[in-house]
Structure 1
Amino acid sequence: MIQKVNKTEYPELISVWESSVKATHDFLKPEDFIFYKELIPNFFDNVSLHCIKNDQQQIIGFIGTHDGNLEMLFVTADQIGKGIGKKLLLYAIEELKVTKVDVNKENLTASAFYKHFGFEIKSISDVDGCGKPYPILHLELIK
């Protein structure tokens, strides 16, 4: 069941983010990983956060959305490939009316995931939103 995230759960979101990024963003320099880990909590209050929990009530995946954009989707490393990301993405599309997402160009698995659900490349940026040299694919849902 997908539910809203409570502010008291923000530290748990960081753990999910860290697990997910370590498993999927092997192109990140270690110093950039630390940079983003410190930065990500600043975004939580600016997005609508929803999550999926396991039987022990631990968050195993979450999304952050804002204005029709999927700003973040992260799943713990041990849950990648088990349908959690799919559930979160479909919820974002169907219930939260998401039509756009940005993804690291070097994260081939993520870009293939979004393309599988009907997202197409609309543009590409040479650097990410922080000006770091990680190209970003700007994807839009084509219906």
Structure 2
Amino acid sequence: MLQSASKSDHLDLLHVWEASVRATHDFLAESDLLALKPLILEQYFDAVDLTLARNETGDIVGFCGTSDGTIEMLFIAPHARGQGVGALLASHAIDTQAATKVDVNEQNDQAIGFYQHMGFVVVGRSLVDGQGKPYPLLHMALLNS
């Protein structure tokens, strides 16, 4: 079930974010992950339109944040990966929030493959991430939108 996230969901979303990052971003230094946590909670969640997915027992199993036609964050709880939660959230962002762009860490092959499966193609590359760290980003877009 998809629903808009509220401020009261932010701590639960942070737990999903951290578990997801630890499961998929093995290239990320621990110090960088720890530095991101307060930024995610105190700034980034408030800067996007957040949609969350709950399982049949009501637990949050993933979320997507969009802003200005861009998927800024899409994270799935490790135990819920491969069950269609990411595709559901991404499709919602594309269909109802006009999301046509996303930046993906170049080292995250699974995310690149996921977005390619969703119809995104690589249209550019940056040598550093949004914080200026040496984690190259691939800029991806839906070209037939």
Partner of 2:13: 13
Q: Quick check: 1:27 aligned with 2:27?
A: yes
Partner of 1:59: 60
Looking at structure 1, the residues matched to 127 and 68 of structure 2 have their Cα atoms a distance apart, in angstroms, of 23
AA aligned opposite 1:6:
S
Partner of 1:68: 69
Q: Following TM superposition, where does structure 1 have runs of at least 4 consecutive aligned residues deviating by more than 6 angstroms?
A: none
TM norm structure 1: 0.97
Structure 1: gaps of 5 or more residues: none
Q: For 1:1-143, what aligned pairs fall within 5 Å after superposition?
A: 1-41=1-41, 42-143=43-144
Give how far 1:36 is off.
1.3
Give how far 1:45 is off.
1.0
The root-mean-square deviation of aligned C-alpha atoms, in Å, is 0.8
Counting matched residue pairs gives: 143
Give how far 1:100 is off.
0.2
AA aligned opposite 1:94:
D
Looking at structure 1, the residues matched to 90 and 40 of structure 2 have their Cα atoms a distance apart, in angstroms, of 20
| Superposed CA offset, 1:73-130 (max 9, x none) | 0000101111100100111111111000000000000011101111111110000010
TM norm structure 2: 0.96
Looking at structure 2, the residues matched to 101 and 69 of structure 1 have their Cα atoms a distance apart, in angstroms, of 6
Looking at structure 2, the residues matched to 59 and 65 of structure 1 have their Cα atoms a distance apart, in angstroms, of 18
Identity %: 46
AA aligned opposite 1:73:
L
Give how far 1:38 is off.
2.0
Q: Secondary structure at the match of 2:72?
A: strand
Give how far 1:32 is off.
0.8
Looking at structure 2, the residues matched to 10 and 118 of structure 1 have their Cα atoms a distance apart, in angstroms, of 29
Looking at structure 2, the residues matched to 117 and 56 of structure 1 have their Cα atoms a distance apart, in angstroms, of 27
Looking at structure 1, the residues matched to 38 and 5 of structure 2 have their Cα atoms a distance apart, in angstroms, of 19
AA aligned opposite 2:17:
W
Structure 2: gaps of 5 or more residues: none
